Chains A and B, each alone.
Chain A
Amino acid sequence: MCAPVKYNIRGPALIPRMKTKHRLYYITLFSVVLLGLIATGVFQFWPHSIESSSDWAVEKRSVHDVPVVRLPADSPLPERGDLSCRMHTCFDVYRCGFNPKNKIKVYIYSLKKYVDDFGVPVSNTISREYNELLTAISDSDFYTDDINRACLFVPSIDVLNQNTLRIKETAQALAQLARWDRGTNQLLFNMLPGEPPDYNTALDVPRDRALLAGGGFSTWTYRQGYDVSIPVYSSLSAEVDLPERGPGPRRYFLLSSQMALHPEYRSDLEALQAKHEESVLVLEKCTNLSEGVLSTRKRCHKDQVFDYPQVLQEASFCMVLRGARLGQAVLSDVLQAGCVPVIIADSYILPFSEVLDWKRASVVIPEEKMRDMYSVLRSIPQRQIEEMQRQLLCRAARRASCPESWPWVHGKEIINDRIYPYAAISYEEWNDPPAVKWSSVSNPLFLPLIPPQSQGFTAIVLTYDRVESLFRVITEVSKVPSLSKLLVVWNNQNKNPPEDSLWPKIRVPLKVVRTAENKLSNRFFPYDEIETEAVLAIDDDIIMLTADELQFGYEVWREFPDRLVGYPGRLHLWDHEMSKWKYESEWTNEVSMVLTGVAFYHKYFNYLYTYKMPGDIKNWVDAHMNCEDIAMNFLVANVTGKAVIKVTPRKKFKCPECTAIDGLSLDQTHMVERSECINKFASVFGTMPLKVVEHRADPVLYKDDFPEKLKSFPNIGSL
C-alpha cells in the first residue's frame, strides 16, 4: 500500500524511517484528512447543482414502479356528486388563505397503483395525456408540493376516460386520499364521461363535493360557477403541425368530418350536400384504404381521399355535431385548424364558456334548426366570418406554446378568479386578440357625463418668484364665476412665499403649497387640496386671459371632460427630410396639442402623470426643466385616443406688446429642444398618440352679427 519512496527531492522519505507504530498512526490520520478534503471538495462543488437544478428532485423511474395500494372491498365510498354545490357552499376558501398575490396553490397527490382485493388493477395507472397535464400543473406557478399549504388538490388517479376505469373502485380510491375530506377542494379532470347506452354528461364516479373539470357538460349537470367545462383533447390535431392560415375565403363553405353520426343527422347532411354540391363537403370513413395507412388520419368523399385534419383548413365552417357524448374531440381539431365551428349540440356547455366569448368565434345552431343551417350560415357576412377566423387564430396562437396543457392553463385561472374575484381577469383580457389591443384604447373616462356646473374648478398656479405677476394672475382668475379654489404651487425652496397679508383678497379659498424640490412635475401632482374634478393649470405670467374666456373654457371642458381643453394650441409635424417629428408653433390650420401654461383638464390625469407616466419621461422632464406640457398631451391622448380642444382664438397670453409667439417660444434652440421632446416621447410611447384636428371651440355667437351686450361671453380676445 505504501511503497517506500526512495527518491525524494526534498530529502529522505519520511514514512519508511519511522517506527511502525507511528507509521500506522500517521497513515490513518493522513487518510482521514485526505478523505475529509475530498469530501469537502465534493460538497463545495456539488451543492450548487443541488440547489439550482430542479431536475435533481425529479425522480427518474418507471410508472410501473409506483407503490401499489390494495383497496379492501368494503372501503368507504364517497357520495354521488352534489348538484347544488357552489363555491360558497362546497369550497373551503380558508385553505387558500389570503394570499397577497391572489394565487391559489395546487398540490398533486403522488402516483400510486390501486388494485382490488384480488390484485386486479382499478384502472390504467396513468394515461399519457393525464401525465402531461399533471406535468404542466407541476411546472406552473400554482404548484406546491406541500400538502399543508395547498388550496386545491389534484388526485393523480386518472379519470379522463370513464370507460377505462371501474367506477366503484375508483371512487373508493379517491375516498382514501390523504386530504379527501368529502371531496372538498379536490379537482378532477374528465374528458369522456358517461357510458353506453345513456351516456351521462358528467363523470359517473361518485365524487362528493369535488370540483369537476369536465368535457361534455350539459346545462343540467353543469354547476354554474363551480365546475369548469374543458374541451376534449384530440391527439389527431395535436400531433400534426398545421400551418397558420390567415382569415379569408376557403375552398369549401361547410365541411363535416365526423364519422360516427346518427343516421338522422347523416341523411340531413347528405341532403344538404346534394343541394349544394360545390360548397358543402360531407366526409366519411374510408372503406378501401391500403394497408398501413392510419384510418383515423384519412377521410373520404366518394372516391376522393382527404388528409385529416389538414382538410379542415379548406373550409370556412366545420360541423361539430353531438354524438353519443356532448363534448366532441373534433371541436379541438376544428379549432386548431382555424375553421369556424358550427356547433349543433343542444344544452352543451362550451369549453371555458364562463370566460371565453364563443359568440365571437363559433356559430351555435339548435338541433331542430339543423335543416336551416345552410341559410343561417349563408346570411353571415364574409367580414364577420373573417373576424371569427381572426379570433380563432389568436386563440390557437395562445395555445401553441402549451398544446397539451391548455385545458389546465385556462382551468386553473378560472378557478383562481372564483376564489379571488376582485383580482379576476377581465373580459377583454380573455377575449381580445393582442393585435386589436394595440390600436384600441380604453378611455379611463368613458362615461358620457357632463359634470355639474356647480362643482366649479380648482386653479393651480405654478410659480417660482414672480410675485407681482403671480398676484395679477390670481386677481384675474378670481373673477371667473366658476372658480372654487385657488392653489399656488410655490416651487422656490430658497425663498419663502409672501406673507399672508400681502396676498390679494379673493372670494375663494387660496392655498399655498410649498414643494420640496423645484420640479416641473410638481404642477401635475394630485394634491389632496383639489376637491373638484376640473383643474385649471395656469402659469404665473398668463395675464391676458379674460374672465369670459376662462369661464367659457370651463364650460367647454364640462362638455369634453376627458380631454385637455386649453388656450395656446400647437402642432406636431413629420419632417420628411430629417425623418423625425417637428414641433410647430406657427399659426396653422391644425392643432394637436394645447399647452398646459393655461389649460383645463380632469384631476385624474394628475394621478396618471404622477404615477403612471410610461418610461423615464417624468424624470427626463424634471431633468431638462422643459416639455412637461408636451408629456401631458402625450399621456392624455394615449389613454383616451382623443384630440385636444383649443378654446377661443386667443394667441397672445403674456403681454399685449409681445409678438405673436410668446417669450420663450421664440428661441430657436427652444424649438429644437421641444422637437426633441416629441421624438423622445414618441419613442417611449412606441407610437405617436397625438391626434390632429382642424377645429377650435368658440362661443356660439363669436363674431356673429349680434348685439355684443346680449352675448354670454362678449369679452373674447381676438389675438
Chain B
Amino acid sequence: MQSRRRKYLWLIFSASWLLLVLLGAPRLRQLAIPPSLRPRTLTSWPRWLDQELLPNFVEPEELTKDPCPPSCSTRQWQRQRPGCLMETCFDTSRCQSHGFKVFVYPVGLTQPISEIHHKVLASIEGSGYHTANPEEACLFVLPGDALSPQLLPLWNGGQNHLIFHLHPGSWPDLGFDLGQAMLARASPKPETLRLGFDVALPLFPQSYPQRGGSRGQLAHLIPPPGEDLLAFESQLDARVTGSSNHLDQSTILIISDHHGEASEHHRDGPCKQDHNTDQSEDQKRLYNSTFCFIPPNCHLGSFHLLQALKAGCIPVLLSSGWELPFSEVIDWGTATIMIDERHLLQIKPALQELPPARILALRQQTQFLWDAYFSSVEKIVHTTLEIIRDRIFRAAARPWLLWNAPPGGLLALPTFSTQPGDFPFYYLQRGSRPSGKFSALIWVGALDQPPLKLIQEVAGSQHCAQILVLWSNDSPPPPQGKWPQTTMPLMVIEGRKKKSDRFFPYSAIGTDAILSLDAHSSLSTSEVDFAFVVWQSFPERIVGFQTQSHFWDEIKGSWGYTDQRPNEFSMVLMDAAFYHRYYHVLFTHFLPAPLRDLVDELSECEDILMNFLVAEVTKLPPIKVPQRKPLQEVLQHAQGEQPSRDCISKFASWFGHMPLVHSQLRLDPVLFKDQVSVLRKKYRHLERL
C-alpha cells in the first residue's frame, strides 16, 4: 500500500514537473535573453488621466481681445522694422495707371559700363516693358552697378529702382547705399538676399548670347546604355576625403564658357577650381553623364548649373551656399537633385536607386528650364522683370504650373488669365478639353467683297458658335440686312485697317478656338468640321490648309520661304486656320510693337509672324489638313504675288534663332480616299472636287 501510494505521489509530482517544465521553459528562455536583444515595446507619450482638464494654451477670450496697441498701425509698424519688403519699399501705385513699364537711365549719365550690362539694357529696351518716359515708369533700371545713384534725378531713396549686380563680390560691396532699391544679384548668399524683395540671378559670362541662345542639347531622354552616372565625381571625392579645404580660400577663378574664352575674373571664391581638367574634356563629360555634380559654395557652381541644364545633365547640388536662380518661382526640386553635404557618401547609392521615371522627368525639366529661362541674357532679364511684375500684381500672379511647366512663365501671360484651364497648354494636366465650339473671324481687306458664300459655309458647321467680320475695307460695311441669313450670331468689327488687327484679342471672341479666315478663302463645311475636330486633339498648335516652307538661302545668306517645296512645310497660311485665342494675346502683348508695325507695312508678313510665334511657344510644327482645292490651283494662285523675304529674316533676328520646324505629314480622315464606299465615309465631301 505504502509503495503504491508513493508511486501515485511520484507520478503526480513528475507529471506536474513535466507540465511545469514544458510550459515554463520557453518563458525562462525568454528571460535568459538580455533585454536589449528582445523586441522592445515603444514607450509612447503618456495618456494623462487628467488630460481633459488641462488648460488651453490660450483662452479664446484672450485671443479675441488681442489688444492692438497704437504701434499696430501700418505706418508705425513699418517704421519699427528695418529691411525692405514689396509692401514697404516699393510704391505699387506707380504701376497702376500705365501698367508694368520700365524706364532705363541713359547710359551717358554714368561711367562706362561693361558689355554684359549693355546686353541687359538692350534686352529691356527692345522689349514691351520699355518706356522712354520716366513719368509712366513703374520700375527704374540702373545702367550698371558701379555708380553713385544719389546723382540720379529720380533716385528717391532707391524706391522702385532695380540694380543688376552681375559681378558677385561680397555683400554689400556695391560702393553705395542701396536704400530701397531692389537688387537682382548673381548667385547671392541666402542670408544676404532680402526675401521676397531681391531677385537671385544665375551667374553668366560676358559672352552670353543676348537673345535666342542655343536650344537644350539633350539627345536622349532616357540615359542610353553606357552613359556615365555622375560627372565631376573627382570633385565630389575630393570633398569626401577632405583633400580640398574649401573654406576661407581665396583663389582666382577663371570661368570660361564652352568656347573656351576666359571671360570673368573673380576674387574671393570660396572654392578652388581643378586647374588640371581640360575644358573640352569637361564638356564631353557633361554630355555623357546622367548626373553632374555641381560644386557648392562657389561662384563657379552657378555657372556650372547653367551648363548642366543646357546639356541635360541632371545637376546634383549640395545644400546651397548660394540661392538658386529665380528660386522664388522655379521649383528646383523638379529639375535637380539636392543633397546635404554631409550625406555625400550616400550620394552614389541614392542616385543609383532613383527610378527611371524620375530621371526621365528630371532630364526633361532641365531642358525646359534652360529653354524657358536661361538660354539668353534676354530671357534672364525678362524673367527677373516678370517675377517683379508678379509681386506687384499679386492677384494676377502666375500660379506654380505656369512657371514650372512648358512653355514657361514668360510665354504664359497672367494678364490673359491665371487659370491654367484657359491656356492651350495645360489641358492634359487638368484633365480637361478645349470647348467644343469655335468663333470664325473673317478679315475683309481693302479689295475684298463681303464674303457671303464663305459665311454660309462656315455657319453650316455644327461647331461654329459665332461669326465675327473684321471690316478693313474702305467702303462702309453693308447694312444688317445685306448679310446672309443664318442662325449664327454675326458681328461686324470695324478695325484700324491694319494687318496686325486680325490678331487682336477682341473681347467679343467667346470661344477657345478661332477660325481665322480671309474674305477670299473658299472652304466647305466639311473641311471646317474636320479641321476643327483635329484642332481639338492639338489645341496648342495651328491647324491649317495651305502651307509654306522656310529654307536657308545659301546664295543670299538669309532665310527665305516658298510654297514650291510641297513635300514639307513649316507654316500654314492664316487665311484659313484654327488656333487658340490665347495666341491673339501673345501676338498683341508679348511681341514688341516694332514687329507688329512691320506686319502692317509689308504684305503676307502677318502669317509668318503668327507661325513664328506659335512655333516659338510650342517648339512644334503646325498641322496640315486636306483641302478640296487642287494643289495646282493653289500653287498658281500663290505665284501671283512676290513674297517679301524681308520679314522672315527680320523675325528670325528678333527671335534670335529660327523657331520654325518642318513637318512632312498631313492629317487626313481615317478613310480618306480609301477604296471603300463613299457612304461609309464621314467626311465624304472632302474628296469631291
Contact = CB atoms under 8 A, between A and B. Distances in A.
Nearest to A589: B682
Interface string A109-139: 0010000000000001011111100110111
A329 B63 contact: yes
Contacts of B671: 587-589
B664 A376 contact: no
A700 B665 contact: yes
A702 B418 CA distance: 42
Contacts of B360: 444-445, 604
Interface residues on A, range: 35 or more
Nearest to B367: A447
Nearest to A586: B680
Nearest to B347: A422
B58 A702 contact: no
A702 to B, nearest CB: 7
B342 interface: yes
Given A138-B44, A322-B72, A695 B620 contact: no
Contact of B13 (A29, A163, A699, A719): A29
A700 B666 contact: yes
A421 B333 contact: yes
B54 A127 contact: yes
B375 to A, nearest CB: 14
Nearest to A607: B356
B57 A57 contact: no
Given A220-B81, A698-B668, A447 B406 contact: yes
B395 A436 contact: no
B54 A63 contact: yes
A546 to B, nearest CB: 16
Given A260-B68, A422-B339, A695-B667, A604 B399 contact: no
A469 B276 CA distance: 58
A128 B673 CA distance: 78
Interface in B333-375: 333-334, 337-343, 345-346, 350, 354, 356-357, 360-361, 364, 367-368
B524 interface: no
Contacts of B342: 93-94
B665 A555 contact: yes
B688 interface: no
Contacts of A369: 92
Nearest to B673: A703
Interface in A1-28: 14, 17, 26
A359 B55 contact: no
B504 interface: no
Contacts of B221: 445, 447, 449, 533, 602, 604
Contacts of A60: 46-47, 49
Interface stretch (B18-26, B301-309, B469-477): B18-26
Interface in B642-689: 661, 663-676, 680-683
30 contacts: A33-B17, A37-B23, A58-B44, A63-B54, A86-B319, A88-B341, A98-B346, A108-B45, A138-B45, A191-B58, A234-B63, A296-B64, A346-B74, A359-B397, A360-B400, A363-B395, A366-B394, A368-B87, A421-B337, A422-B339, A533-B221, A602-B221, A603-B222, A694-B534, A695-B670, A700-B569, A700-B624, A701-B631, A704-B630, A719-B674
A325 B64 CA distance: 12
Contacts of B683: 589, 694
Interface string A40-70: 1101100100110010111111111000000
Contacts of A446: 361, 364, 405-406
A559 B72 contact: no
Nearest to A431: B400
Interface in B562-581: 566-569
A218 to B, nearest CB: 7
Contact of B74 (A368, A452, A651, A696): A368
A235 B665 contact: no
B419 A387 contact: yes
Contacts of B672: 649, 696, 698, 703
Contacts of B337: 421-422
Given A587-B674, A700-B663, 14 more contacts: A44-B27, A84-B191, A135-B45, A143-B42, A161-B58, A164-B57, A199-B69, A261-B68, A366-B394, A368-B92, A376-B395, A447-B368, A589-B680, A700-B569
A357 to B, nearest CB: 5
A646 interface: yes
A695 B668 contact: yes
B172 interface: no
Interface string B382-412: 0000000000001101011000111000000
A346 B665 contact: no
Q: Which 9 A-B pairs have CB atoms at the shortest separation, nearest pair first?
A: A439-B431, A138-B45, A440-B431, A127-B57, A88-B319, A447-B364, A421-B338, A128-B54, A40-B23
Contacts of B259: none
Contact of A426 (B92, B334, B430, B569): B334
A174 to B, nearest CB: 17
B152 interface: no
Interface in B36-88: 39, 41-51, 54-58, 60-61, 63-69, 71-74, 77-78, 80-83, 85-88
Contacts of A98: 343, 345-346
Contacts of B547: 700
